[in-house]
A and B are shown apart, each in its own frame.
Chain A
Amino acid sequence: MNTSNNALTEAVYYILLALITPLHGYGIMQRTAELSGGRLVISAGTLYGALSTLMEKGWIEQLEVVADSRRKEYQITSAGRVVLEQELARLEELVNNGKRILKL
Chain B
Amino acid sequence: MGTVKKVWNFFTIAQWEEEEKWLNEMARNGYNLVGIKGFVRYVFEQGTPGEYIYKLDLPDNLEHGLDGKAYCDFLTECGIEVVCSQKQWLFLRKKAADGPFDEAGDMFAKLKMTNKAYSYAIRTLSMLLRIFTLLICVNLLAMALLTSKPQVVELLSGVVLGVGVGAIVTLTLVWVPLINRLRKRINELIDEIAVNR
Binding site for B on A (CB under 8 A): 24-26, 29, 33, 40-49, 52, 70-71
**Can you spell out 25 A-B residue pairs with CB atoms less than 8 angstroms apart?**
A24-B77, A25-B78, A26-B78, A33-B99, A40-B103, A41-B100, A41-B102, A41-B103, A42-B102, A43-B101, A43-B103, A43-B106, A43-B109, A44-B80, A45-B102, A45-B109, A45-B112, A46-B109, A46-B112, A47-B78, A48-B64, A48-B74, A49-B64, A52-B64, A71-B77
Q: How far is the CA of A47 from the CA of B112 in the complex (A)?
A: 13
Write the chain A residue with the least CB distance to B57. Answer: A45
Binding site for A on B (CB under 8 A): 57, 59, 63-66, 71, 73-75, 77-80, 99-103, 106, 108-109, 112
Known pairs A40-B103, A41-B101; list 5 more (Cβ under 8 Å).
Answer: A44-B78, A44-B101, A46-B109, A49-B64, A71-B77
Shortest CB–CB separation between residue B103 and chain A, in angstroms?
5
Residues of A within 8 A of B73 (CB): 70
Tell me if A45 and B77 are in contact (CB < 8 A): no
Residues of B within 8 A of A52 (CB): 64-66
Q: How far is the CA of A25 from the CA of B72 in the complex (A)?
A: 12
Residue pairs across A and B with CB atoms within 8 Å: the count is 47
Tell me if A43 and B102 are in contact (CB < 8 A): yes
Q: How far is the CA of A1 from the CA of B94 in the complex (A)?
A: 32
Residues of B within 8 A of A43 (CB): 101-103, 106, 109
Tell me if A45 and B66 are in contact (CB < 8 A): no
Tell me if B99 and A41 are in contact (CB < 8 A): yes
Residues of A within 8 A of B63 (CB): 49
